[in-house]
Chains A and B, each alone.
Chain A
Amino acid sequence: MTQRSNPLALIAEITHRCPLHCVYCSNPLELISRPEELATADWLRVFREASALGVLHLHLTGGEPLSRPDLAAMIEGARKSRLYTNLITSGIGLSLERLTQLVESGLDHIQLSFQDSGEDQANWIAGARAHAHKLELAGWIRDLRPPIAFTTNLVVHRQNIGHLEEMIAALEALHPDRMEIAHAQYYGWALQNRSALLPTRAQLDRAVAVVAAAEERLRGKVRIDMVIPDYHARFPKACMGGWGRQLLLIDPAGRALPCHAAGVIPGMRFDNVREHTLDWIWQNSDAFQKFRGEDWMPEPCRSCDRRQEDFGGCRCQAFLLTGDASATDPVCELAPLHHIVEDAVREDATPGSTPEAREAPFHVLQEQMAGFWSYRTDPK
């Protein structure tokens, strides 16, 4: 029997509704609609159960969590359950008054997304006029007394990687405590748009050097955390810190998933917090057992020295790229099916394989690049 640790973080996708339509959104292609969403009281119970289970961090995300009018009540409930509460947001719909209310409810950390440094290009990627408000909001966040932790999150890809220095400088001017520089991960909408988003190897190498220089320059001022696109890596990422090991995600309808993308794997049965306690789900739910530990591993993972480090990589990516969720993550250079990733890189990530956006007004970009990528839709 596999030894079970307790989960450390709960990712609460409280809604899939979102005013942004980012082309790399990690939400599933089939979004959950408003009438299916869990009620406030259900969430507050989930937070209490999470805390009792040993969870320390709560990440309130979506969709756009601000779409839920009861967000302040959720933050208050989470703090009463002694969870460290992080709001992952586009900032759209957040007035100074509501920000103050959320902070007074006990919010510890706010993570504000940015799409680019230039307004037109940022709006083009988000499919919405959002950038100007984000800048104003960043000022309000920084002026809070007492301060809360402030992270800016920037998703990096083919269409903005060329001016990463400018983007870092623009974010630095907002005085965050922390910057997340996250290369798009190819699930959901990003996989759909991969050929427009996957950077070339040379672009990635340059970006890694740019981030290393920024880390050095900003040491002690801004903490930088970077996520690289695993298609260019030699070994897979330790996805979610291992399946059913540290994290659990509850989707807007209350289904408990081991990660954001697990819904794509056919034949999985996800238990719902409307019917089971979180403790029961963590211990017993088939979905959490499925790839927990090492029993499921094929060779070369089963006898690999790295199996305690990367846990065989990502199950969802294995399914999405090979059709078999139990296969070694094809990102791994040791994977029998590694050629799938090599082919994808050759097709989607070579110089000239896709147009790269130039500077132009938002509406011009939208018109000239119509059909270039699919924007994430919005559920009812």
Chain B
Amino acid sequence: MAREIVAELVDLSIPKFAAGCRWGGTAEAPVVLFPEGAIRVEGTGRIILELCDGHFSLAEIVQKLEAQFMLAPKGKVRADVQTFLEQLHAKRIIDY
């Protein structure tokens, strides 16, 4: 019955939507729905969350983003993705 919640986000972690969190809204204006709230996600946030489908590790997500943002300083993409996912983890929207 007890659940293992690994609270540390590392390269091999696979970020995914927490229980009861899912996409909603419309194709033009997608939102992430969770208990008692919703967030509108656009741009990079949306790209990251679309990759949080249980198929990609943090390292793979970072790699895909780095390929898109080639001019970003080294390490910046990883730091930004990490902060973004950790914030959503604290809100129990993303698990890893």
Contact = CB atoms under 8 A, between A and B. Distances in A.
A82 B90 CA distance: 26
Contact of B21 (A139, A149, A219): A149
Nearest to A56: B38
Contacts of B38: 8, 56-57, 84
A286 B13 CA distance: 53
Interface stretch (B27-35, B60-68, B73-81): B27-35
Contact of B2 (A109, A148, A175): A175
Interface string B3-33: 1010100000000001111101100000101
Nearest to B93: A223
A363 interface: no
A134 interface: no
B92 A56 contact: no
Best-surrounded residue of B3, B7, B24, B36 (most CB of chain A within 10 A): B36
B35 A86 contact: yes
B9 to A, nearest CB: 10
B19 to A, nearest CB: 4
B5 A220 contact: yes
A142 B31 CA distance: 26
B92 A177 contact: yes
B19 A221 contact: no
Contacts, number: 65
Interface in A1-53: 8
Given A220-B7, A220-B90, A177 B35 contact: yes
B19 A177 contact: yes
Contacts of A220: 5, 7, 89-90, 92
B24 A84 contact: yes
B1 A142 contact: yes
Interface in A126-155: 139, 142-143, 146-151
A378 interface: no
B93 to A, nearest CB: 9
A225 interface: yes
Best-surrounded residue of B34, B35, B36 (most CB of chain A within 10 A): B35
Contacts of A82: 24
B91 interface: yes
B20 A223 contact: no
Contacts of B18: 149, 177
18 contacts: A56-B24, A56-B31, A56-B33, A57-B38, A108-B20, A109-B20, A139-B1, A146-B19, A148-B19, A148-B20, A149-B18, A175-B3, A177-B18, A178-B35, A178-B92, A220-B5, A220-B90, A221-B7
Interface of B: 1-3, 5, 7, 18-22, 24-25, 31, 33-36, 38, 89-92
Given A149-B34, A225-B36, 16 more contacts: A8-B38, A57-B36, A57-B38, A84-B24, A84-B33, A86-B36, A108-B20, A109-B20, A147-B20, A149-B35, A150-B19, A175-B1, A177-B20, A219-B90, A221-B5, A223-B92
